[in-house]
Amino acid sequence: MIIGILDLQGAVREHRTSLERLGVAVRAVKDVSDLDGLSGIVFPGGESTAMQRLAAGSLRDRLRELAHNGFPMFGTCAGMILLANTVDGKATPHLGGMDIAVARNASGRQVHSFETTLAVKGIGPDVPAVFIRAPYIVRIGPDVDALAEYNETIVMARQGQLLVASFHPELTEDVRIHRMFVDIARQHRHQNEIQQKQEATQL
Protein backbone atom coordinates (compact mmCIF):
# COMPACT_ATOMS: atom_id res chain seq x y z
CA MET A 1 0.00 0.00 0.00
CA ILE A 2 1.33 3.44 -0.98
CA ILE A 3 0.14 6.73 0.48
CA GLY A 4 0.81 9.88 -1.53
CA ILE A 5 1.65 13.32 -0.13
CA LEU A 6 0.80 16.35 -2.24
CA ASP A 7 4.28 17.82 -2.73
CA LEU A 8 3.69 21.28 -4.11
CA GLN A 9 4.63 23.23 -1.02
CA GLY A 10 4.47 22.83 2.77
CA ALA A 11 5.21 20.29 5.50
CA VAL A 12 5.74 17.31 3.19
CA ARG A 13 8.81 15.98 5.01
CA GLU A 14 7.01 15.85 8.36
CA HIS A 15 4.08 13.85 6.97
CA ARG A 16 6.53 11.49 5.29
CA THR A 17 8.28 10.90 8.61
CA SER A 18 5.00 10.20 10.42
CA LEU A 19 3.78 7.76 7.74
CA GLU A 20 7.14 5.99 7.46
CA ARG A 21 7.14 5.48 11.22
CA LEU A 22 3.96 3.48 10.66
CA GLY A 23 5.73 1.36 8.07
CA VAL A 24 3.78 2.79 5.15
CA ALA A 25 5.33 3.37 1.70
CA VAL A 26 5.12 7.03 0.73
CA ARG A 27 5.18 8.82 -2.62
CA ALA A 28 5.53 12.56 -3.27
CA VAL A 29 2.86 13.79 -5.67
CA LYS A 30 3.75 16.69 -7.96
CA ASP A 31 1.96 15.61 -11.13
CA VAL A 32 -1.28 13.86 -12.06
CA SER A 33 0.71 10.78 -13.13
CA ASP A 34 2.02 10.39 -9.56
CA LEU A 35 -1.53 9.55 -8.42
CA ASP A 36 -1.63 6.14 -10.14
CA GLY A 37 -1.73 3.21 -7.74
CA LEU A 38 -2.11 5.20 -4.53
CA SER A 39 -4.36 4.00 -1.70
CA GLY A 40 -4.73 7.45 -0.16
CA ILE A 41 -3.31 10.94 -0.27
CA VAL A 42 -2.28 13.49 2.35
CA PHE A 43 -2.63 17.24 1.82
CA PRO A 44 0.00 18.79 4.09
CA GLY A 45 0.00 22.05 5.97
CA GLY A 46 1.34 25.02 4.08
CA GLU A 47 -0.17 28.13 2.54
CA SER A 48 -3.53 27.30 1.03
CA THR A 49 -3.46 30.17 -1.49
CA ALA A 50 -0.05 29.07 -2.80
CA MET A 51 -1.11 25.40 -2.95
CA GLN A 52 -4.26 26.37 -4.79
CA ARG A 53 -2.19 28.20 -7.45
CA LEU A 54 0.14 25.22 -7.78
CA ALA A 55 -2.53 22.52 -7.85
CA ALA A 56 -3.85 23.50 -11.26
CA GLY A 57 -4.97 21.88 -14.49
CA SER A 58 -5.23 18.10 -14.76
CA LEU A 59 -3.80 17.50 -11.27
CA ARG A 60 -6.54 19.61 -9.70
CA ASP A 61 -9.24 18.03 -11.86
CA ARG A 62 -8.19 14.51 -10.93
CA LEU A 63 -7.88 15.33 -7.21
CA ARG A 64 -11.32 16.92 -7.29
CA GLU A 65 -12.75 13.80 -8.91
CA LEU A 66 -11.12 11.56 -6.29
CA ALA A 67 -12.29 13.78 -3.41
CA HIS A 68 -15.88 13.52 -4.59
CA ASN A 69 -15.71 9.75 -5.11
CA GLY A 70 -14.76 8.40 -1.71
CA PHE A 71 -10.99 8.21 -2.18
CA PRO A 72 -9.14 8.33 1.19
CA MET A 73 -7.77 11.82 1.77
CA PHE A 74 -6.29 13.47 4.84
CA GLY A 75 -5.84 17.26 5.00
CA THR A 76 -4.10 19.17 7.76
CA CYS A 77 -4.50 22.96 8.09
CA ALA A 78 -4.08 24.22 4.50
CA GLY A 79 -4.93 20.70 3.34
CA MET A 80 -8.24 20.92 5.19
CA ILE A 81 -9.00 24.20 3.37
CA LEU A 82 -8.46 22.46 0.03
CA LEU A 83 -11.07 19.81 0.91
CA ALA A 84 -13.73 22.10 2.41
CA ASN A 85 -16.85 22.86 0.37
CA THR A 86 -17.09 26.35 1.84
CA VAL A 87 -14.14 28.63 2.66
CA ASP A 88 -14.61 31.99 4.41
CA GLY A 89 -18.31 31.96 3.55
CA LYS A 90 -17.72 31.37 -0.17
CA ALA A 91 -18.83 28.20 -1.92
CA THR A 92 -15.85 28.21 -4.26
CA PRO A 93 -14.01 25.15 -3.02
CA HIS A 94 -10.42 24.51 -4.06
CA LEU A 95 -11.05 20.80 -4.40
CA GLY A 96 -14.07 20.42 -2.17
CA GLY A 97 -15.67 17.09 -1.35
CA MET A 98 -16.22 17.60 2.34
CA ASP A 99 -19.42 19.17 3.62
CA ILE A 100 -17.77 21.62 6.02
CA ALA A 101 -17.36 25.38 6.15
CA VAL A 102 -13.99 26.65 7.33
CA ALA A 103 -12.73 30.06 8.38
CA ARG A 104 -9.12 30.67 7.34
CA ASN A 105 -6.56 32.02 9.85
CA ALA A 106 -9.26 31.79 12.53
CA SER A 107 -6.72 31.29 15.32
CA GLY A 108 -5.20 34.66 14.43
CA ARG A 109 -1.73 35.80 13.43
CA GLN A 110 1.41 33.83 14.23
CA VAL A 111 1.91 35.35 17.69
CA HIS A 112 -1.36 33.61 18.68
CA SER A 113 -0.34 30.21 17.28
CA PHE A 114 -0.25 27.62 20.05
CA GLU A 115 0.14 24.04 21.10
CA THR A 116 -2.08 22.06 23.44
CA THR A 117 -3.54 18.58 23.90
CA LEU A 118 -6.98 17.58 22.68
CA ALA A 119 -9.46 14.79 23.23
CA VAL A 120 -9.94 13.08 19.87
CA LYS A 121 -12.88 10.74 19.37
CA GLY A 122 -11.64 7.21 18.65
CA ILE A 123 -8.07 8.00 19.74
CA GLY A 124 -7.83 9.35 23.26
CA PRO A 125 -7.99 12.30 25.64
CA ASP A 126 -4.40 13.47 25.23
CA VAL A 127 -3.50 14.01 21.58
CA PRO A 128 -0.86 16.75 21.11
CA ALA A 129 -2.03 19.43 18.68
CA VAL A 130 -0.02 22.29 17.16
CA PHE A 131 -2.14 25.12 15.75
CA ILE A 132 -0.36 27.50 13.37
CA ARG A 133 -2.42 30.38 11.97
CA ALA A 134 -5.03 27.69 11.99
CA PRO A 135 -8.35 27.50 10.15
CA TYR A 136 -11.38 26.40 12.19
CA ILE A 137 -14.42 24.42 11.10
CA VAL A 138 -17.42 26.69 11.57
CA ARG A 139 -20.14 24.39 10.24
CA ILE A 140 -20.48 20.70 9.42
CA GLY A 141 -23.04 18.91 7.31
CA PRO A 142 -25.20 15.96 8.48
CA ASP A 143 -22.79 13.32 7.10
CA VAL A 144 -19.78 14.77 8.90
CA ASP A 145 -18.56 13.46 12.23
CA ALA A 146 -16.83 16.00 14.52
CA LEU A 147 -13.83 14.26 16.07
CA ALA A 148 -12.25 17.00 18.17
CA GLU A 149 -13.06 20.41 19.54
CA TYR A 150 -11.01 23.26 20.93
CA ASN A 151 -12.88 25.97 22.88
CA GLU A 152 -16.17 24.64 21.52
CA THR A 153 -14.97 24.98 17.93
CA ILE A 154 -14.61 21.90 15.73
CA VAL A 155 -10.98 21.30 14.76
CA MET A 156 -11.04 17.76 13.42
CA ALA A 157 -13.67 15.92 11.40
CA ARG A 158 -14.39 12.94 9.18
CA GLN A 159 -16.79 12.33 6.34
CA GLY A 160 -16.49 8.86 4.83
CA GLN A 161 -12.89 8.46 3.72
CA LEU A 162 -12.10 12.18 4.12
CA LEU A 163 -10.28 13.18 7.30
CA VAL A 164 -9.33 16.76 8.18
CA ALA A 165 -7.63 18.60 11.07
CA SER A 166 -7.08 22.30 11.77
CA PHE A 167 -3.83 21.44 13.52
CA HIS A 168 -0.60 19.66 12.63
CA PRO A 169 -0.18 16.11 13.93
CA GLU A 170 2.82 15.92 11.55
CA LEU A 171 4.73 18.35 13.78
CA THR A 172 4.57 15.96 16.72
CA GLU A 173 5.98 12.51 17.45
CA ASP A 174 2.48 11.18 18.04
CA VAL A 175 1.37 9.14 15.01
CA ARG A 176 -2.07 8.05 16.22
CA ILE A 177 -3.95 10.40 13.88
CA HIS A 178 -1.84 9.23 10.94
CA ARG A 179 -2.62 5.66 11.97
CA MET A 180 -6.34 6.50 11.90
CA PHE A 181 -5.93 7.68 8.30
CA VAL A 182 -3.82 4.69 7.28
CA ASP A 183 -6.55 2.42 8.70
CA ILE A 184 -9.18 4.29 6.65
CA ALA A 185 -7.06 3.84 3.51
CA ARG A 186 -6.36 0.17 4.25
CA GLN A 187 -10.03 -0.61 4.86
CA HIS A 188 -11.05 1.21 1.69
CA ARG A 189 -8.48 -0.74 -0.30
CA HIS A 190 -9.69 -4.00 1.20
CA GLN A 191 -13.33 -3.23 0.33
CA ASN A 192 -12.32 -2.33 -3.22
CA GLU A 193 -10.53 -5.66 -3.58
CA ILE A 194 -13.58 -7.58 -2.34
CA GLN A 195 -15.81 -5.65 -4.71
CA GLN A 196 -13.49 -6.32 -7.65
CA LYS A 197 -13.44 -10.05 -6.84
CA GLN A 198 -17.23 -10.13 -6.69
CA GLU A 199 -17.49 -8.34 -10.01
CA ALA A 200 -14.99 -10.76 -11.51
CA THR A 201 -16.97 -13.82 -10.35
CA GLN A 202 -20.21 -12.32 -11.61
CA LEU A 203 -18.62 -12.03 -15.04
Partner 1 sequence: MVETGTLRVKSGLAEMLKGGVIMDVTTAEQARIAEEAGAVAVMALERVPADIRAQGGVARMADPTKISEIMESVTIPVMAKVRIGHFVEAQILQALEVDYIDESEVLTPADPTYHINKWAFAVPFVCGARNLGEACRRIAEGAAMIRTKGEPGTGNVIEAVRHMRLMNEQIRRVLNAEEEEVVSLSKEFGAPLYVLRAIRDKGRLPMVNFAAGGIATPADAAMMMQLGCDGVFVGSGIFKSTDPAKRAQAIVQATTHFMDAARLAVISRDLGEAMEGMIIEEIPPHEMMQTR
* String of contacts with partner 1 for each residue 133-172, x by CB under 8 A: x----------------------------------x--x-
Tell me whether residue 68 is one of the annotated catalytic residues.
no
* String of contacts with partner 1 for each residue 101-140, x by CB under 8 A: ---xx--xxxxxxxxxx------------x-xx-------
What is the C-alpha separation between 159 and 96, in angstroms, rounded?
12
Q: 4 or 46: whose CB is closer to partner 1? A: 46
Give bridge partners of residue 74 from the DSSP assignment: 42, 163
Q: 49 or 198: whose CB is closer to partner 1? A: 49
SS3 153: strand
Instruction: Work out whether strand 145-150 and strand 162-165 pair parallel, antiparallel, or are unpaired.
Output: unpaired
94 binds partner 1 (CB under 8 A): no
How far are the Cα atoms of 25, 41, 150, 159, 176 from residue 125, in angstroms, in the given order? 29, 26, 12, 21, 12
Cβ(102)–Cβ(76) below 8 Å: no
The binding site for partner 1 (CB under 8 A) comprises: 7-14, 30, 45-47, 49-50, 53-54, 77-78, 104-105, 108-117, 130, 132-133, 168, 171
